[in-house]
Amino acid sequence: MTAPGAFADLRALRACWHPVAFGRDVGSGPAQADLLGQPLVLWRGQDGQLRANSDLCVHRGTALSLGWVAGDELVCPYHGWRYRADGRCVAIPQLEDPARVPAKARIGAFRCQERYGLVWVALDEPRWPLPEVPELENGAWSLVTAGPYRWRCDAARQVENFTDFGHFPWVHPGLLGDPDRPVVPRHEVRTEGNVLHYTIVRPEAPNTDDFPVFGNAQAGPPQRHSRYELHLPYTIALRLGWGGERGMVYFFASQPLAADRCAGYVVIGRNYNLDQPDRVIQEFEDTIFGQDKVVVESQRPEQVPFDLAAELHLKFDAVAVAYRKAMRALGLATSDAAG
Ligand code: FES
Ligand SMILES: [Fe+2]
Euclidean distance between CA atoms 335 and 318, whole angstroms: 22
8 lines ligand 1 (CB under 6 A): no
Buried b / exposed e along 148-165 (16+ C-beta atoms within 10 A):
bbebebbbbbbbbbbbbb
pLDDT of residue 206: 57
**Is the Cα torsion angle 303, 307, 311, 314 positive or negative in sign?**
positive
Cα separation values, 119 from 65, 116, 159, 189, 219, Å: 16, 8, 19, 29, 41
83 lines ligand 1 (CB under 6 A): no
Tell how far the Cα of 229 is from the centroid of ligand 2, in angstroms: 17
Residue 162 host element (H or E):
helix 155-163
pLDDT tens string for the chain (339 positions)?
Answer: 444 579 999 999 999 999 999 999 999 999 999 999 999 999 999 999 999 999 999 999 999 999 999 999 999 999 999 999 999 999 999 999 999 999 999 999 999 999 999 999 999 999 999 999 999 999 999 999 999 999 999 999 999 999 998 999 999 999 988 899 899 888 999 999 999 999 998 765 556 666 667 776 544 566 779 999 999 999 999 999 988 889 999 999 999 999 999 999 999 999 999 999 999 999 999 999 999 999 999 999 999 999 999 999 999 999 999 999 999 999 999 986 544
Euclidean distance between CA atoms 62 and 34, whole angstroms: 15
59 lines ligand 1 (CB under 6 A): yes
User: Within 10 A of 97 (CB to CB), how many other CB atoms are there?
Assistant: 8
pLDDT of residue 4: 59
User: Within 10 A of 60 (CB to CB), how many other CB atoms are there?
Assistant: 10
Q: How far is C-alpha 241 from the geometric centre of its chain's CA atoms?
A: 23
152 lines ligand 1 (CB under 6 A): no
Instruction: Determine the straight-line distance between the first and last CA of the chain, rounded to whole angstroms.
Output: 12
Cα separation values, 141 from 71, 133, 181, Å: 35, 12, 32
Least distant ligand from the CA of 165: 2
Q: What pTM was estimated for this model as a whole?
A: 0.93
Euclidean distance between CA atoms 113 and 56, whole angstroms: 21
Least distant ligand from the CA of 166: 2
